[in-house]
Copies of this chain bind each other. A is one copy, B any other.
């Protein structure tokens, strides 16, 4: 096991009708900016419940944070934060709204042009000098943003990750019933996102980290068990509760502690979203099975463990276990209605050059747990995914 340092001060308030807890958790004298995305939080009255819980607290609203939240949009919210001396950002939505809200806080604490935090990096160095709390009401289990300190934001130059401890939410409300009204495809995307997050921290090489491995395997098995059922039965509380908890635990620092990690699927996936507008979850379903195929030698031991412990594959032939583990991964994504080939989305071989060019522009030239996924290997992964 590698050495590690974990710290996660986010309070999770989990269960039905927990929005009312906001009244206990946000100071009475807070000046709140509620951030949200499209109309669904209005349509399904989530915003009304949030405002009811806020009671007499001074609060403003900022809607319109889009999927893959855009820098320019977030800068408009920053104006309100500065003008109204907001000291509490309350994100109501999924990963995009929460990520965008984290970036608003980072930008409010940054002395220079906030775009530099995306294009030049260094977000982890920003010092917290303004007292602005972040809190969230999660409506879409997927990204894990509700219990971590990272965010992904899009600008003209591409899709960029930021991270800073000041971005841990003070608390997150996880009410599984808020997910009942989600469209099927968003739930499916969220299941894939969670499954891929876990594998990015699990499927590398063994370092004898048994707690982390088994916890990862537990989430993966659970997602396979409940995946199709939770899509088909949107108002089954326990299914949605299990999905929501797995999504949060899949990317809150726990299973990634002390182990090697491989974020190739997310890095290549981000370029596919930026270039072709594919849903984030769908890009991951395309890249990960192909990554496993191309890197099956380096990931050999873990692929065997994954096949045996996650898919219960019994065979004396390790190569067969590996091949089955990869094909079952692909089948799992397809079983959720998520296609796993670039060609399924109309992307052709000649367009791969564009992706490679962007990976090069963003300096993603040595990805993977061994830092050996260069542009040529990324090309192989994409060609194999056609």
Query: Could you list which residues of chain A lie within 8 angstroms of chain B, going by C-beta atoms?
Result: 1-16, 18, 208-211, 213-215, 217-219, 221-222, 225-226, 238, 241-242, 245-246, 249, 254, 257-258
A211 nearest CB neighbor, chain B only: B245
Complex formed: what's the CA distance from A227 to B6 in Å?
Answer: 25
In the A-B complex, the 8 residue pairs with the closest CB atoms: A3-B15, A214-B218, A7-B11, A9-B9, A208-B238, A210-B222, A1-B241, A6-B12
Bound Cα distance from A219 to B210, whole angstroms: 8
A3 to B213, CA, bound (A): 26
- Most chain B CB within 10 A, of A210, A257, A258, is at A210
- The answer to whether A14 touches B218, judged by C-beta atoms less than 8 angstroms apart, is no
Q: Are B210 and A242 in contact (CB under 8 A)?
A: yes
Task: Give this chain's copy count.
Answer: 2
A218 / chain B contacts, CB cutoff of 8 Å:
210-211, 213-215, 217-218
What CA separation (Å) do A2 and B222 show in the bound complex?
A: 18
Is A11's CB under 8 angstroms from B6's CB? yes
Could you say which of B5, B215, B225 contacts A13, with CB atoms under 8 Å apart?
A: B5
User: A207: nearest residue on chain B (CB-CB)?
Assistant: B238
Q: Is A1 a contact partner of B238 (Cβ separation < 8 A)?
A: yes
State the CA gap A50–B132 with chains docked (Å). Answer: 35
List chain B residues, Cβ under 8 A from A11: 5-7
Contact A214:B221 (CB < 8 A) given known A6-B12, A14-B257, A257-B14: yes
Q: Which of B5, B8, B13, B226 sits near A210, CB closer than 8 Å?
A: B226
A225 lies within 8 A of B210 (CB): yes
A13 and B249 CA atoms in complex are apart in Å by 20
